[in-house]
Chain A
Amino acid sequence: MKDKRPERIELNGKFSIIHCTFKHQSRSVIYSPFTSESMLCDISVVELLERLSHADCMTGEVDSYVKKRPESAVGVIKQLLSMQILLPS
């Protein structure tokens, strides 16, 4: 998948990781209260969101995540943007 990410990305400040994610073993479910969509994904996606909630440089965290998972990460980031959990800034 071609990487057409916005130059800068941030975590939606209204997104609650505690209330809108579920983790079990190696997988997780992420719910978007903004679009009412749900996504079943690897637990690493929630871990990314957790890191973003503390990160000084969110775009750097996203870049690092994409580098580690070049095959799947682009689709995941695109979906998180579509669900308005990540926002272009």
Chain B
Amino acid sequence: MLPSTQRYYLQTGPFITEVETSIPSVQRYLKTHYQDNLLADPELHFIDFHVSLVPGMLGRRWIKPQARFYFNGREPFKPLPLNQAPAMLEWGMNWLITNHAHQYLIIHAATLEKNGKGIIISAPSGSGKSTLCAYLVSQGWRLLSDELALVCPETLQIHGLARPINLKNNAIELARRFLPSASFGEEIADTLKGKVCLVKPPKPSVAKVYISAPISRIVFVKYSAAEQCYVEQVEKCEALMELITNSFNFGLLNQTGFACAKQIVEAADAIYIEYNQLADCEVAIRKGIDEKDNGTKVGRYSSDPHDFTLNEPS
């Protein structure tokens, strides 16, 4: 007997997504990881995105089974192996936001809040951004997003999504040491990013997702086995270029995007941290760049000397 199709309505920060699926692993995933985001009365709300995840057609239901992602009846991605369906839903939801939510400046970064202070953690893929994000959550920081910083150009506040944290490869075992075991989903092997595990967001983060946060600090991080904790202040022009480079929709927002990014670096300080201990990194984030306070080395972040650096439109 074929599994029945179910509809779920997810409230993730400012967005409501209708997910229609007959894939049992996605149904299980939504019931566990989005338990606190499910809307009981969807008819009272405007639905931003209508998506469906369905099994492959014909023989692809049984031979090398596939999952297919549809948005408004169209299929923006190639099918993936069926075991990757929950991860495909997350990647698809990221795609929906970065391609449609242009009321925000969207930066590829994690965002968290503690004591009313918001931080943006920017790092290239594989630099330990999600691992650090998961650790900070275990230390009482409120999760806004592990992947997308949504900054309102008018208020400069960061808006949260409180969606699952996407851990990869070695970070999964590491995070099991400090996050509750019940929050971990099934491990998904052999994705394009390696082994992936989705971690349920903490209840308080979901409950307070509607509270935006001002940006107090921009943090550029890099995991480095050889460096216990190295902290540098990042020069504001360098920080601005990094934000521009890591933004999904900067070019589309044009002068509004530039004005927003400019105001972010004017209002917040920016630091660069190389670390091999998550606890030291958290201390550095909290204490910032005060070398007298935490004893870490302090310099000035700067790329190689040059006359100019160009960033081409994204």
Residues of A whose CB lies within 8 Å of any CB of B are 16, 19-20, 22, 24-25, 27-29, 31, 33, 35-42, 45, 71-72, 75-76, 79
Contact with A along B271-314 (1 / 0, CB 8 A): 00000000000000000000000000000000000011111110
Given the contacts A27-B235, A29-B240, A39 and B254 also touching, CB distance less than 8 Å? no
- B258 contact set on A, CB distance < 8 A: 19-20, 31, 33, 38
B102 at interface by CB-CB < 8 Å: no
Please classify how large the interface on chain B is, using the bins under 10, 10 to 19, 20 to 34, 35 or more.
Answer: 20 to 34
B267 at interface by CB-CB < 8 Å: no
- Whether A40 pairs with B309 at a CB distance below 8 angstroms is yes
- Whether A39 pairs with B310 at a CB distance below 8 angstroms is yes
Secondary structure dominating the interface of A: mixed
- Whether B308 pairs with A37 at a CB distance below 8 angstroms is no
* A27, A75, A76: residue with the most chain B Cβ atoms closer than 10 Å: A27
Cross-chain contact of B313 among A28, A29, A35 (Cβ < 8 A): A35
B250 at interface by CB-CB < 8 Å: yes
- Whether A38 pairs with B241 at a CB distance below 8 angstroms is yes
Q: Which residue of A lies closest to B303 (CB)?
A: A40
Given the contacts A19-B258, A24-B235, A28-B237, A38 and B244 also touching, CB distance less than 8 Å? yes
- Whether B259 pairs with A19 at a CB distance below 8 angstroms is yes
- Whether A37 pairs with B235 at a CB distance below 8 angstroms is no
Q: Which residue of B lies closest to A38 (CB)?
A: B311
- B312 contact set on A, CB distance < 8 A: 37
* Shortest beta-carbon distance from A51 to chain B in Å: 18
A40 to B242: give the CA distance in the assembly, Å: 10
* Shortest beta-carbon distance from A4 to chain B in Å: 18
- Whether A29 pairs with B255 at a CB distance below 8 angstroms is no
A-B CB contact pairs (8 Å), 24 listed: A16-B255, A22-B262, A24-B236, A24-B237, A25-B237, A27-B235, A27-B237, A29-B240, A29-B244, A33-B255, A35-B313, A36-B251, A36-B313, A37-B312, A38-B310, A39-B309, A39-B310, A40-B237, A40-B309, A41-B308, A45-B308, A72-B307, A76-B307, A79-B308
